[in-house]
Amino acid sequence: MKVGIVEHIDSMHRLPGHPKCGVPHGHTYRIEITVEGPVVGGMVIDFDALKAQVRELLKPFDHADLNRLIDYPSCENISVEILRRLRERLAGDRLTVRVWEGEGKWAEMEG
C-alpha cells in the first residue's frame, strides 16, 4: 500500500553554466512524499507523524538559497538530497520523493 503527502517550499537557486537558469531566481517547489509498506493497525504510517518529519526536514530548504545546501541544485539533485535526509528519519520504509519545479516539471527519486 502507498500513502503520500504534499508540501510546498519557496526557494531560490541558480544552475552555474546553464544558459537560462544560471542567474539567481526562485521557484515554488511542490514536494510529494510517498511511503510504501504494509498496513499495520490500519495504517502504513501515521499522516501526522509523516507530515511532522517532512516539515522539519524541509525547514532548511524553505525561503533559502538552495546552492548553499546542494552543489548543483537541479530538480533531480534536490530530490536525491531530500530522499537522503528522509531516509535518515524513516529507515525501513520504501520512499519516493517527487519534486515539482513550478508547474509542469518534476523529478522523482525512489529508494
Residue 25: CB atoms within 10 A of its CB come to 11
The rounded distance, in Å, linking the Cα atoms of 32 and 23 is: 26
To Zn ion, the closest distance from the beta carbon of 48 in angstroms equals 32
CB neighbour list of residue 91: distance below 8 Å, 6 or more residues apart: none
* Residue among 93, 109, 96 at smallest CA distance from 38: 93
Question: 21 or 107: whose CB is closer to Zn ion?
Answer: 21
The rounded distance, in Å, linking the Cα atoms of 1 and 80 is: 23
Annotate each residue in 66-105 with x if it binds Zn ion (CB under 5 A) or - if it does not, as one string: ----------------------------------------
Answer yes or no: 110 catalytic. no
Question: 13 or 95: whose CB is closer to Zn ion?
Answer: 13
E-state strands within 1-111: 2-13, 25-36, 64-65, 94-101, 106-110
To Zn ion, the closest distance from the beta carbon of 104 in angstroms equals 13
Question: 44 or 98: whose CB is closer to Zn ion?
Answer: 98
To Zn ion, the closest distance from the beta carbon of 19 in angstroms equals 12
Annotate each residue in 16-35 with x if it binds Zn ion (CB under 5 A) or - if it does not, as one string: -----x--------------
Active site residues: 21, 63, 101
* Interacting residue ranges for Zn ion, rule: CB under 5 A: 21
